[in-house]
């Protein structure tokens, strides 16, 4: 199905060769050492089994500025070192999410990675795929879209980044707490992507496959009425839960096939 949409508009195209691994929503930070351990193991496997790695946003639980790297906390030093080791052998791409939208070129350069724009077309052996973190399509979550609108303002970011790191951390902690409180009162539907927004984005870019994270609802989703369009949704990672549940996984692209791999579940593989 190469001509489902009429007019291709390919911007931000990234041509990739070899086996690609994509993960998102790692939410790494000082409070989840087991997730960090699993991620470091994943990076080690990726180094041997993949040729390209893309981290699709919310790599960090709350990114308060690239200047953290001048005196990194031990957990961050470990992550950066592991990313750099991977990037010395293979291309590494980082995308921003809603918790690490302040990730910048300085950090990307620090780990020898390339920072991606919020939407990118992956030109892969399996075909063209639109990739994004996913939050921008949650258009029914008005409360979140308002938050997003403001925190993406360059003047507000500049103001925030001019504050001392300790104050930035306190603001980030309170934003995280506010987010967690607020989510208790929102329905799953409101926090999901809006199908019409996905269809419009795929149409604008003339693709019929999308990979995103953010919703923490990993699956290969069809969009009723727009069957050629499919959303491949990445899982979030969590290995520190007190209930002992361990979540995580990634999407691989090899040859003509995409596979969704989730810890403890069967792989789901399809061609586009
Ligand atoms: O992230 P998650 O899964 O919990 O929920 C998201 C939406 N929430 C967010 C907020 C982030 O988690 C907070 C990230 C902190 C980053 C560092 C702070 C930098 C501040 C920089 C200022 C320039 O994205 C949540 C969605 C959910 O996904 C599902 O889609 O519903 O949306 C909200 O909860 C919106 C709320 O309105 C957020 C309110 C936070 C309170 C604001 C406090 C102070 C902010 C100060 C700004 C200067
Ligand atoms: Mn997210």
Ligand number nearest CA of 26 is 2
Distance CA 131, CA 205 (A): 11
Provide mean pLDDT across the span 86-102. 98
pLDDT band at 5 (very low <50, low <70, confident <90, very high): low
Ligand 1 closest atom vs CA 151: 23
According to the model, what pLDDT value does residue 57 have? 98
According to the model, what pLDDT value does residue 227 have? 85
Provide mean pLDDT across the span 56-61. 98
Q: What is the pTM of this model?
A: 0.95
Task: Give the Å distance between the CA of 214 and the centre of ligand 1.
Answer: 12
Ligand 1 closest atom vs CA 98: 24
Q: What is the pLDDT of residues 189-248, one digit of tens each?
A: 999 999 999 999 999 999 999 999 999 999 999 998 888 899 999 999 999 998 878 999
According to the model, what pLDDT value does residue 149 have? 98
Report the phi/psi class of residue 27: left, alpha or beta, with left for phi > 0 and alpha for psi in -120 to 50.
left
Strand pairing report for 119-124 and 13-15: parallel
DSSP 193: P
Distance CA 104, CA 146 (A): 22
According to the model, what pLDDT value does residue 88 have? 97
Provide mean pLDDT across the span 30-42. 97
Ligand 1 closest atom vs CA 172: 18
According to the model, what pLDDT value does residue 242 have? 85
CB atoms within 10 A of CB 4: 14
According to the model, what pLDDT value does residue 1 have? 39
Residues with CB under 6 A from ligand 1: 62, 64, 98-99, 135, 138, 141, 143-144, 147, 151, 156-157, 160, 171-172, 174-176, 178-180, 182-183, 186, 191
According to the model, what pLDDT value does residue 228 have? 86
According to the model, what pLDDT value does residue 245 have? 84
Distance CA 88, CA 126 (A): 26
According to the model, what pLDDT value does residue 191 have? 96
Provide mean pLDDT across the span 85-114. 98
Provide mean pLDDT across the span 8-37. 91
Interior/surface letters 141-162, b for 16+ CB within 10 angstroms, e for the rest: beebeebeeeeeeeeebeebee
Q: What are 37's two structure tokens?
A: 């351990």
Ligand number nearest CA of 165 is 1
Q: What are 45's two structure tokens?
A: 């496997």
| Confidence check: pLDDT of 4 > 80 | no
Distance (Å) of CA 32 to CA 16, 157, 246: 32, 26, 12
Please answer whether residues 86 and 215 qualify as being in contact, where contact means their C-beta atoms are separated by less than 8 angstroms.
no
Provide mean pLDDT across the span 58-67. 98
Distance CA 14, CA 200 (A): 20
DSSP 60: B
Ligand 1 closest atom vs CA 156: 23
According to the model, what pLDDT value does residue 244 have? 76
pLDDT band at 151 (very low <50, low <70, confident <90, very high): very high
Comparing 13-22, 210-219, 223-232, 249-258, which segment has the lowest mean pLDDT?
223-232
According to the model, what pLDDT value does residue 243 have? 83
Ligand number nearest CA of 138 is 1
According to the model, what pLDDT value does residue 2 have? 39
Q: Give me the chain's average pLDDT, please.
A: 95
Strand pairing report for 249-254 and 20-23: antiparallel
Q: Which runs of consecutive H residues, i.e. helices, occur in the chain?
A: 33-49, 74-87, 105-110, 142-151, 154-161, 165-183, 195-205
């Amino acid at each position: 199905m190469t001509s489902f949409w009429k007019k291709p508009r390919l911007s931000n195209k990234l041509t990739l060769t070899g086996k690609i691994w994509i993960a998102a929503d790692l939410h790494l930070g000082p409070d989840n050492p087991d997730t960090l351990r699993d991620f470091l193991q994943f990076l080690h496997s990726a180094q041997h089994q993949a040729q390209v790695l893309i981290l699709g946003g919310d790599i960090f639980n709350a990114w308060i500025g690239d200047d953290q790297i001048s005196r990194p906390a031990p957990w961050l030093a470990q992550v950066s070192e592991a990313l750099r080791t991977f990037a010395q052998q293979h291309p590494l791409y980082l995308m921003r999410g809603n918790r690490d939208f302040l990730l910048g070129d300085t950090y990307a350069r620090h780990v020898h990675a390339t920072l991606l724009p919020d939407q990118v077309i992956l030109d892969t052996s399996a075909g063209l795929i639109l990739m994004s973190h996913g939050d921008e399509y949650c258009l029914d979550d008005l409360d979140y879209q308002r938050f997003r609108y403001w925190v993406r303002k360059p003047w507000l970011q500049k103001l925030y980044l001019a504050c001392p790191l300790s104050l930035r951390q306190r603001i980030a902690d309170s934003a995280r707490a506010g987010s967690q409180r607020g989510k208790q009162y929102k329905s799953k539907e409101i926090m999901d992507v809006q199908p019409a927004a996905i269809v419009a984005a795929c149409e604008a870019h003339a693709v019929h496959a999308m990979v995103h994270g953010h919703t923490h609802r990993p699956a290969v989703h069809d969009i009723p009425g727009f069957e050629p369009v499919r959303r491949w949704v990445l899982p979030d990672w969590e290995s520190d839960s007190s209930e002992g549940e361990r979540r995580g996984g990634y999407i691989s692209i090899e040859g003509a096939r995409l596979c969704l791999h989730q810890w403890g579940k069967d792989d789901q593989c399809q061609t586009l």
